[in-house]
Chains A and B, each alone.
Chain A
Amino acid sequence: MEIFWSIVLVFMLTMFILLDGADMGAGIIHLFVAKNEDEKQRIIRAIGPFWDGNEVWLIAAGGVMFFAFPTLYASAFSGFYLPLIMVLWLLIFRAIGLEFRNLVANNLWKTAWDKAFGWASLLLTVFLGAALGNVVRGVNLGMVANGEAQHEAIYFFNPLWNDNFSPLNDHPGILDWFTVILSLVAAVTLTIHGAHWIIFKTQSSLNQRLKKLVVRLNGVLALLVILSLFAWLVVRPDALDNYYQHPWLWIFPLLMLLALGVMFRVPALKKDWQPFAVSSLFIISAFGSTAGALFPNLLPSRNNHFPSLTIYNASADAYGLEVGLIWWLIALVLVAAYFFYVHKIFAGKMDDVEYH
């Protein structure tokens, strides 16, 4: 049961990044690449009807974490207090930037909300990367200092950064050189992914520029991925243990490399949905690789005093998990139905979808 719910949690977070990550990437493209009102409007049409539903994956994943792994929810949400509240603020700016811009026909108004939407999107990708970095690196559970715990075994509080900016510090912060590398990986990955969504759903001169851009960004991404793998091994020397024990897990990093390779060939791909499919594969396999390395940990401990939070010691009582299984599966079927319906109605290019 715990294994099932941990897969559900990873699945829902992956869906969030796949879908809403593309919206954030589109926001970054909107900020830096779109040149005029026409291009900006096309980008907004391509994500307008979807972003809200996409964001629900995050909320629903939070809900599943709450009832299936209440200990993890309590520990991580209070421990990552500051960045999480900032993520909330950014989500607010992103949403109202997107929704308010077209409500008043005034250039200053539009410019202001465009900036809010774009910068909030960019910072969100940075925070999401840092979040992943923090989970992979682990935290000082129980706030152990000089061999003594200052809090209960599952609680901690991460500052935004510590003095030497190092992940190997006793009290690591949210941002250190390791998590910053992952922030960059996330920002570049989602920019590419967002560009692919725009290529998929719109049709204009912007798309040709984007195809050239993603090839260059992909070069940066390849370097960052290699760098992050080495950094990972420095921060967590045990990172590959699961891979040695279960060699089938290598399928995830291999798929990741394959997707990364194909992304260099984006301009040559015939169909406009193909780039998006490739970057989706990259994101899914990246999540698979990470989950494979972490399993069964959910939040590793960085001290010897307290054990890591795992899917076993952080999960809820069995009865609750069993009932949850029934309603969750029913809900998933419904969600899948809505998803297919909305994407059927808005199938293909969306350049002339009407805004009310």
Chain B
Amino acid sequence: MEDLILYHRLQFAFTISFHYLFPQLTMGLSALIVWFKWRYIRTGDELYNRSSLFWAKIFAVNFVLGVVTGIPMEFQFGTNWAKFSELTGNIIGQTLAMEGMFSFFLESTFLGLFLFAEKKLSPKMHFLMAFLVFAGTQASGLFIIATHSWMQHPVGYEILENGTFVLKNFSALFANSWLWPSYLHNQMASMVTSAFVMSGVGAFYMLNKNNSDFAKLFLKTGVVTGLVSSTLVIVPFGDMLAQQVARHQPITLSAMEGLFKTQEGAPMVLIGQPNMHTRTIDNKIELPYALSLLTYKRWNAHVKGLDAYDEADWPTNVPALYYAYHIMVGLGTIFLALMGLATYFLRKKRLFEKERLLWALLLAVPFPYIANLAGWYTAELGRQPWLVYGLLRTVDGVSATVSAGNTLFTLLGFIGLYFLLGVFFLLLVGKIIKEGPARHSG
């Protein structure tokens, strides 16, 4: 049984992690494409139109990979987590089916039109197509996070005698207090990724001394969007989400922060390694009183540590959860500093000459991806050992008829296939960037 759970969990974790490399860019990037298209309509400047078409090309490659790696996600609820699907399908099936009906049709239809029908449509209609693609990606995120939020903080349900969850209040799914902080936090985080990718490509052209008009536009757009989104992702949205965790999953919060002992005036650990034998943090550097202050807004508030809870309810892997959370927060802080600095020099009109800063922006591109995944690991590892928080344990949701050997087989298949996809993805995006936006005239 342990092998079985392990492989089923690994397969889901692997496929969802790989999948989420793509939507986190497309959700934010579609907004920036809409912005360029809008500027083109207002100013008639071909620079904006070419920029929108250039990014649309990168968007399209990401979108295709997002689609093809996304279908396995919906299927895996049934294939690998059949008991969970049987028990909760009446509820989470709603939001997942709504995603298909309301957002996938929208984004796929209008992306086809945006990419293929530019000549057949007026600039305004073409702008509308871009906007509808953007709307589709945002709706998709909303339905997924509504599903996710129900698993974190179940609402509007009733449990029948046989263990089945049935829906009692549809609107509660969208009024869930967990949903909006999560959704806004996540959408801002995806904006951070897009901003870094855009400024990174701008920095690349700048350092390479080609496409300099585009480089300036991308840097300007990326850096400003980057500063705004790196701020909003922390305050207010990250903080709002942390309040939800503190309120509904206090054990998770203790584990995220690495707080083993219940105490007043709890410190916040900045760096250190959780030691599960001694139940302490090794080599720690901490900020006194900070955890009490940030969580309860009082210096000496009483914060429960892991010792206050039954060990069976602790997150399954405390160190992994702790690291995921600290990596996200640490990177988020660095993003804010980097984009703050870049915006400062942009205002001073010196950004384009600051080679070291441009190098930093270029090399920073992978890190928002890491931060986004670390954020999701925090949410998912934090929910363990539950599938539906406090109500249905992960071990009770798995497909019992699908053996460990069969799952390992498909997991290996996914790893091989996705490795191949990753190689071709990098190759193609690299080629598009190398060719540059100038070639993609309307």
Interface residues of A (CB under 8 A from B): 48-50, 52-53, 55-56, 58-60, 62-64, 66-68, 70-71, 73-79, 81-82, 84-85, 88-89, 91-92, 95-96, 99-100, 103-104, 143, 151-152, 154-157, 316-317, 319-320, 323-324, 327-328, 331-332, 334-335, 338-339, 341-342, 345-346, 353-356
CA distance A91 to B421 in the complex (A): 13
- When distances are taken between beta carbons in the complex, the residues of chain A under 8 Å from B113 are 49, 341-342, 345
A67 and B89 contact, Cβ closer than 8 Å, known pairs A49-B117, A91-B71, A155-B401: yes
- Chain B positions within 8 Å of A84 at CB level: 75, 79
Answer whether residue B424 sits at the interface, using C-beta atoms and an 8 A cutoff: yes
Nearest-neighbor residue (CB-CB) of A66 within chain B: B93
Kindly provide the distance from the CB of B45 to the nearest chain A CB, expressed in whole angstroms. Answer: 20
Contacts of B119 in A (CB 8 A): 354
> Quick one: which of B65, B101, B403 has the most chain A CB within 10 A?
B101
Specify which chain B residues have a CB less than 8 angstroms from the CB of A356 in the assembled complex.
53, 56-57, 60, 115-116, 118, 440
Bound Cα distance A327, B60 (Å): 29
Instruction: A157 to B417: give the CA distance in the assembly, Å.
Output: 24
A156-B399 Cα distance, complex, nearest whole Å: 10
Indicate which residue in A60, A68, A155, A354 contacts B116 across the interface (CB closer than 8 Å): A354
State in angstroms the CA–CA spacing of A73 and B102 once bound together.
Answer: 21
A162 to B400, CA, bound (A): 21
Cα of A279 to Cα of B71 in the assembled complex, Å: 28
Q: A48-B116, A64-B97, A85-B79 are in contact. Are A78 and B402 (CB under 8 A)?
A: yes
Q: How far is the CA of A103 from the CA of B57 in the complex (A)?
A: 10
7 nearest CB pairs, A to B? A70-B89, A77-B78, A67-B93, A63-B97, A66-B93, A60-B100, A49-B112
What are 7 residue pairs bridging A and B, where the CB atoms are less than 8 Å apart in the complex? Answer: A60-B105, A66-B77, A71-B89, A78-B78, A81-B401, A316-B93, A342-B113
Contact A75 B82 (CB under 8 A): yes
* Chain B 93-108 per-residue mask, 1 if CB under 8 angstroms from chain A, else 0: 1101111111011101
B116 touches A353 (CB 8 A): yes
A81 contact set on B, CB distance < 8 A: 79-80, 399, 401-402, 406, 410
Q: In the bound complex, do residue B108 and residue A88 qualify as a contact, i.e. CB atoms below 8 Å apart?
A: no
Residues in chain B near residue A64, CB distance under 8 A:
97, 100
User: How long is the Cα–Cα vector from A111 to B402 in the complex, in angstroms?
Assistant: 37
| Listed stretches B162-170, B196-204, B251-259; interface member | B162-170
In angstroms, Cα B99 to Cα A50, docked, is: 19
Contact of B401 among A49, A62, A143, A324 (CB under 8 A): A143
Residue in B71, B74, B166, B402 whose CB lies within 8 Å of A316: B166
Contact (A49, B406) CB under 8 Å given A60-B100, A64-B97: no
> Does A88 contact B104, Cβ atoms closer than 8 Å?
no
B145 to chain A, nearest CB (A): 16
| CB atoms of A96 and B64 under 8 A apart | yes
Which residue from A55, A66, A331 sits with its C-beta under 8 Å from B89? A66
- Complex: how many Å from CA A104 to CA B431? 9
Encode contact with A along B109-140: 1 for CB under 8 Å, 0 otherwise: 11111011111110000000000000000000
For A335, the chain B residues whose CB sits under 8 A away are 101, 105
- The main secondary structure of chain A at its interface with chain B is helix
Question: What's the nearest-Cβ distance from chain B to residue A17, in Å?
Answer: 16
Asked whether, in the complex, the Cβ of B83 is within 8 Å of the Cβ of A74, the reply is yes
B97 near A324 (CB under 8 angstroms)?
A: yes
The answer to whether A323 touches B68 (Cβ under 8 A) is no
CB distance from A22 to the nearest CB of B (A): 15
Cβ contact within 8 Å between B78 and A76 = yes
Q: Given A49-B116, A96-B68 in contact, is the A78-B401 Cβ separation under 8 Å? A: yes
Q: Are A92 and B116 neighbours in the complex by a CB distance under 8 Å?
A: no
Q: How far is the CA of A323 from the CA of B74 in the complex (A)?
A: 21
- Chain B nearest CB from A23 CB (Å) reads 12
Indicate if the CB atoms of A77 and B101 lie closer than 8 Å.
no
> Given A60-B97, A66-B78, A81-B399, A99 and B64 touching (CB < 8 A)?
yes
- Which of A152, A154, A317, A328 has the largest number of chain B CB atoms within 10 A? A317
Is A74 touching B86 in the complex (CB atoms < 8 A)? yes
Please indicate the chain A residues that have their CB under 8 angstroms from the CB of B424 in the complex. 96, 100
Query: Nearest chain A CB to B440's CB is how many angstroms away?
Result: 8
Q: Is the CB of A103 within 8 A of B94?
A: no
Complexed CA–CA distance, A157 and B403 (Å): 9
Residue pair A342, B109 in contact (C-beta under 8 Å)? yes
> Smallest CB-CB separation from A356: which chain B residue?
B115
B71 touches A59 (CB 8 A): yes
- Most chain B CB neighbours (cut-off 10 Å) among A73, A152, A339: A73
Q: Are B86's CB and A63's CB within 8 A?
A: no
Nearest to A76 among chain B residues (CB) is B78
Closest to A336 in B: B105
Residues of A within 8 A of B93 (CB): 63, 66-68, 70, 73, 316
Q: Write out the residue numbers on chain A whose beta carbons fall within 8 Å of the beta carbon of B101.
A: 60, 63, 327-328, 331-332, 335
Which residues from chain B contact A323 at a C-beta distance below 8 Å? Answer: 94, 167, 170
CA–CA, A331 to B143, complex, Å?
Answer: 14
Q: Which residues of B contact A60 (CB under 8 A)?
A: 97, 100-101, 104-105
Q: For residues 142 through 191 of chain B, which have their beta carbon under 8 Å from a beta carbon of chain A?
A: 164, 166-168, 170
Q: Do residues A50 and B85 form an inter-chain contact, with CB atoms below 8 A? A: no
- Does B288 belong to the interface (CB within 8 Å)? no
- B393 → chain A, closest Cβ, in Å? 17
B410 to A, closest residue via Cβ: A85
Min CB distance A327 to B, Å, is 6
Given A88-B72, A323-B94, A334-B102, 5 additional A-B pairs, CB 8 A: A64-B97, A77-B75, A85-B410, A331-B98, A356-B118
